[in-house]
Amino acid sequence: MTVVMVALASSLSLVASDVTSDSALERSLNEYLECDFSARIDQVRLGATEITIRGHFDSEKVPSSSKLFIAETPIHVLHGATNQYTELTALHPEDKGRFELILPRFRPVNEQPYDRMSSRWTVLLAQQNEKTAISAAHWVDEIDEPAEFPPSQNIAHKKGLGGWQDGILPDELHDLGIAAITMNLVLDHYIALHAAPDTEPISWQGHQFFVRMAALRALDAQLLKAAEDKVVVSAILLITNHARKPTEVNAILGHPDATEEGIFAMPNVTDETGVALYGAVLKLLTDRYCRADARYGRIHHWIIHNEVDAGLVWTNAGEKSTLTYFDLYQRSLRLVDLFARQRDPASRAFVSLDHHWASAGKKEWYSSRRLLELLVRYGEVEGDFPWALAYHPYPQNLFEPRTWRDDQATDSFDTVKITPRNLEVLDAWMKQDRLLYRGKVRPVHLSENGFNSRDYSPGELEAQAAGMAYAWKKIQPLSAIQVWHYHNWIDNKGEGGLRIGLRKFRDDPAEALAKKPIWEVYRAAGTTEEDAVFQPYLSTIGIKNWDQVRGRELRP
């Protein structure tokens, strides 16, 4: 079908013209997210071969004789673009303004199947020579359960480990009693644009790419070892920033506006080829690691990029306003969710945020609370989905392990930071009615957290261990928090002078990989030895018993 030029509702400022500046797009998105539309799409259900769209409209504002259409918008098309609506289907409402439309899931594009799973859908009203949007766009929010999917695996307890790698200390997960781990997956390592030895083709949305099988087999080995230890695996999805290290793959996979400040890049969710490449990698990973038989190992959850509130550093898309940046990010989050839930209904896409809460850590960064507020609003407007939260509540000063002194961490939703000192705030915030997903609290994983030892002197090692004991006691009664992933497992010289590991540097001249006192604290956490091992750190903190710091549930 030919592209149809469509105007937006008259209450919006943008009319059938591309938004070419960040400020103009921000204004348009703000107006769109607050618009009172006369129709609403209530559900978009994805099946194996069909997409079902259900909704309703206000019959007093939209006469039953009106000519209505359902319009499709591909994921890569930005709000307000002149090609925003690419497919139109006539809509014939039932009584009382309700409608249901069943469409084929796949449609041909250039003689190739195009999967409409990632499209969003809008109700249009035809008047004279103009078609006007009378509903917000709506993404797929319901997915038919697959015939076969992996068994449910809950996290046994709250002790996790970040950045785990097999082959260094093979018994570490067992010795520490770890229930869950995170692993970094740099997506451009697994895909190529051209055939080469030891590659296999993969296609999505009519574009063919090639899987680097050696990299994939190495990942298989890591995940199979994790499966032996029966841990829940969360994969952190990262993209090498082409502005720093350009390759032909990441030049397409990464956002074109990415700048050199970024260690990693936002996916290119604004270009058809970029989305096809990104989707092909996601399809590869979810098809392989969400199998019912776990033949290659299993990935249970997906952490979408890293600390997006510090986007210019960790998920770079250039300088963007909060809203235009987040509009990009929520597309990536949704796409991962769509791929994952088709294979594993229990799999979740996690938004990754740092400890800067009510205000941004730097003027060019974003407030993590504001990003979550936007995510909630997008769900209300365009269809909710079961996203979850991966939060990083480091101490307010990453070099200072004495987090009980954090004066920027208060018992208020307006706190500057959320650190181990005030984790009750995060627990309560996630339990607000507006944050729930179908009446249930969304999972919170503290997916990157650690305590520094400025050096290896006894006093610094004691303070580091005390910080962990303090945090562990804090999180136990907080039911929204499912796991604490300790980061970093081993001291790493690439972390700006921090020594936040449970073990010393691998090349320490005196004690390579030696256990620090915090290792023993973490091992004992959650065991019958906890109280005895933790006892000496009461005096370090300056308290008489753990009830003085134990997390308490605040009222939302």
C-alpha 362/C-alpha 23 separation (Å) is 20
Question: 123-149: buried (b, 16+ CB within 10 Å) or exposed (e) per residue?
Answer: bbbeeeeebbbbbbbbbbbebeeeeeb
The neighbouring-strand residues paired with 192 are 210
pLDDT score of 552: 65
Q: Is the pTM of this model over 0.75?
A: yes
Shortest CA distance to 307 belongs to which of 483, 433, 448, 198?
A: 448
Domain annotation for the chain: domains and CATH numbers:
22-143 (2.60.40.2840), 159-548 (3.20.20.80)
Which pLDDT tens digits describe the chain residue by residue (556 residues)?
233 333 333 333 333 345 568 899 999 999 999 999 999 999 999 999 999 999 998 888 887 778 999 999 999 999 988 788 988 999 988 777 899 999 999 999 888 899 999 999 999 999 888 889 999 999 999 999 999 999 989 999 999 999 888 888 999 999 999 999 999 999 999 999 999 999 999 999 999 999 999 999 999 999 999 999 999 999 999 999 999 999 999 999 999 999 999 999 999 999 999 999 999 999 999 999 999 999 999 999 999 999 999 999 999 999 999 999 999 999 999 999 999 999 999 999 999 999 999 999 999 999 999 999 999 999 999 999 999 999 999 999 999 999 999 999 999 999 999 999 999 999 999 999 999 999 999 999 999 999 999 999 999 999 999 999 999 999 999 999 999 999 999 999 999 999 999 999 999 999 999 999 999 999 999 999 999 999 999 999 999 999 998 766 666 5
Residue 233: how many CB atoms within 10 A of its CB?
22
C-alpha 125/C-alpha 135 separation (Å) is 9
Question: 46-64: buried (b, 16+ CB within 10 Å) or exposed (e) per residue?
Answer: beeeebbbbbbbeeeebee
User: What token pair was written down for 335?
Assistant: 């796409």
Contacts of 131 (CB under 8 A, 6+ apart): 4, 6, 7, 69, 71, 85, 88, 124, 125
pLDDT score of 129: 80
Q: Radius of gyration of the chain from Cα atoms?
A: 25
pLDDT score of 110: 82
165 within 8 A of 181, measured Cβ to Cβ: no
Contacts of 518 (CB under 8 A, 6+ apart): 451, 453, 461, 464, 465, 467, 468, 502
C-alpha 237/C-alpha 235 separation (Å) is 6
C-alpha 429/C-alpha 124 separation (Å) is 37
pLDDT score of 127: 86
